[in-house]
Each structure stands twice: as C-alpha cells, then as structure tokens.
Amino acid sequence: MDANPTLDQLQVFLAVVEAGSFSAAARALNRAQSVVSYTIANLEAQLEVSLFERSGARQPRLTEAGRAMVTDARRILSGLQVMRAKAKSLKHGLEAEVSIAFSTMVPSGLLVSVLRRFRSEFPTVSLHLTVGELGRVMEMVTTAQADIGIGGAVTDRVDGVEADRIGYTFLVPVAAADHPLAKLAGPLSVADVREEVQLVVTDASGATKGRDFNLLSYKTWKVSDIATKHNLILGGLGWGGLPVSVIEKDLREGRLVPLRLDAYEHCEYPIYAMRRTANPPGPAAAWLIEAFRAQFVRCPDQQDFLENLTRDQAEDAAPRPHRAVVVPRDKIHDPADADELRIG
C-alpha cells in the first residue's frame, strides 16, 4: 500500500516555501527547527522525491519536483479549508453578528435600502459597518477585520480570499454647473484641464501605492473619500471623476455637468463581494450579498446612460406650448399633501 503524505507535512512544506528557510518556518509554526527538518525529510521519503536543494546554498531552494508539488499542496490544503468552512457553517447556523466593509462606490441610498430590509429579515443579527476606500475593503477582509466586503477589488487577487463580481458602476468626469470647465463649448483637451484643480481620492491602505488613475491636472487636491470629493466638486472647488451611482441625481438636476474629456479613460468599475475562503457566509451574510447583487444589476450601461441624460436634458430645455387646465375644486390638493404629488 502506498504511503500517503499527511496534511501536517504539507502545511510544513508550504511554510518553508513561503518563509524562505527552515529556521523562519520553524519560528512561524512555533516548532523546533529540527522538527521542521524531520517533517520535510519524512515527506520526501513518502513522495520518493527531493523537494529542496540543500547543498551549496545558504537557503534551501526548491527542486523541479518541489516546484511541481507546491501547486498540488496548496490545492489540497485549500480543499481542506473549504470542507472546514462548510462544517463551521452547518454547526453555527445564523450569525450573531456580521461585520461588513463597504466601498464608498456603493451609493448611500442603495445601502440604506438594503439594510432596512435586512433589519426586518434578521432582527436578531447585529451589524458592524465600516466604510473604506479603494484597497481598504480588500485589506479588511484579508486581515479578518470584516466577514464580507462590498466594493471594487483594485488589488491583485489574494490567496484565501474569494471575490465574486456582483455588479458594476462607472466613473464620469464632472464639474459644478458654474465651474469654468462646464462653460467651455465642445470636447475638452488635456490642455483645458491642466491648470484646473483636480480632486483625487488617496488610498490610506497603501494597496494602490504608486498607481495613478486618470490624473490629468498639474494641480491636485487629495481627499480621503468619495463623499468629500463629491461635496467639494459640487462646491465648484475642482473637477474629477465620480461614480454615476453617486451623482446620477446631480447630473439629471443640473448641479453637475459631465465633461467631454477624451483623455479621461472611461471604464467600468466592477463591484465585488469579497470574503475569506475559510469563512463562508452564514444565512444573514449570504442574504446581504444577494440583496446587493440584485440592486447592482440595475446599474445602467455607461454609454446608454450618458446618451439618455443628454436627450432628457434637451427635452427639458425645449419650449412647450401652454395649455390651460381646469381642475375641479374637489380635486385640488391640500398644500400639506404636496410631497405626495408626482409630476411626470
């Protein structure tokens, strides 16, 4: 009968690979170095191959066979994590608390709507909410500060973290209606925006350090979050890209004007539900993920949205013939009911 490597042997093997040495792996595992060396030697005997080159090098290096085994070892241990997670979910049932990290790309109105329904569905479940920017959401999930994250995955995929795309939004370069850029006719060039203040969001997590997204102006004001950027742009203090899910009402009511700027890269911003593989969502967390998925599928296509916006604004500006309307006295609304009046 063939001998089978144990899960402990595979975990020690990966620890040596990731730590870079037997001594570093021993410290990470809180074991004696001799125990780590003995475990690897037994694993090599079980597999009948050498996993590390030990002679002539200060640090052990993977052999060709060792490199081939790394992928299999990770796959086997990942499968074990999934099995443990399923067992944990079955054992614990409904969560007592769900910790969620949200990106500010998630519109506040949508967030309130989903959470209002959540409160009715799960009145006994407590929520711990955190709002973050860019890489912060992924960071909180990776470090177990949040059970699930809802936002854009702007960093590379991380082992042990699953990111399921549930929708998208997109960024539109905008300025306030009274901003100098909003008053320029025709498409804008880079030269038009170079000397105007551009408002940009910085990532406190450091996950996107060194990356610039659509940075076109010489003058920049850095802010910590989308909400602040939104308010400053509304106040005429600069221009910048904002998610359409946040500014749709401002665009339709004319407080903000979309800028026709070809140099600005228009692209979809995917929204993901993120969680650790070893921590599957319970009933309440799974409900939240699906509730947000249902909302984001209604996010409009970028080109269609801008074309419809332009058409609607043109129709609103067109003069309409005046018609006298006679309203029966018993149909006149009380002023107190004005907030219920709907005008098409």
pTM: 0.54
Q: Are residues 99 and 229 in the same domain?
A: no
pLDDT band at 267 (very low <50, low <70, confident <90, very high): low
- Contact residues for 80 (Cβ-Cβ < 8 A; gap 6+): 7
- Domain of 35, CATH number, reads 1.10.10.10
Q: Are residues 81 and 113 in the same domain?
A: no
Last residue of a domain, one of 64, 91, 118: 91
pLDDT band at 334 (very low <50, low <70, confident <90, very high): very low
The answer to whether position 278 is within a domain reads yes
Give residue 106's domain range. 95-166+271-296
What CA–CA distance (Å, rounded) separates 275 from 333? 51
pLDDT, tens digit, 9 for 90 and up, residues 42-98: 988 888 888 888 776 667 888 888 888 888 888 888 888 777 766 665 666 788 889
Q: Are residues 185 and 264 in the same domain?
A: yes
Whole-number pLDDT of residue 136 = 81
- Domain of 110, CATH number, reads 3.40.190.10
Beta strands at 198-201 and 220-223: parallel, antiparallel or unpaired: parallel
Q: Is 62 helix (H, G, I), strand (E, B) or coil?
A: strand
- Domain of 233, CATH number, reads 3.40.190.290
pLDDT, tens digit, 9 for 90 and up, residues 131-148: 876 678 888 888 889 999
Structure tokens at 142: 């990776």
Structure tokens at 41: 């030697």
The answer to whether position 305 is within a domain reads no
Q: Are residues 128 and 36 in the same domain?
A: no
Whole-number pLDDT of residue 332 = 36
Number of domains in the chain: 3
Give me the count of residues in the chain: 344
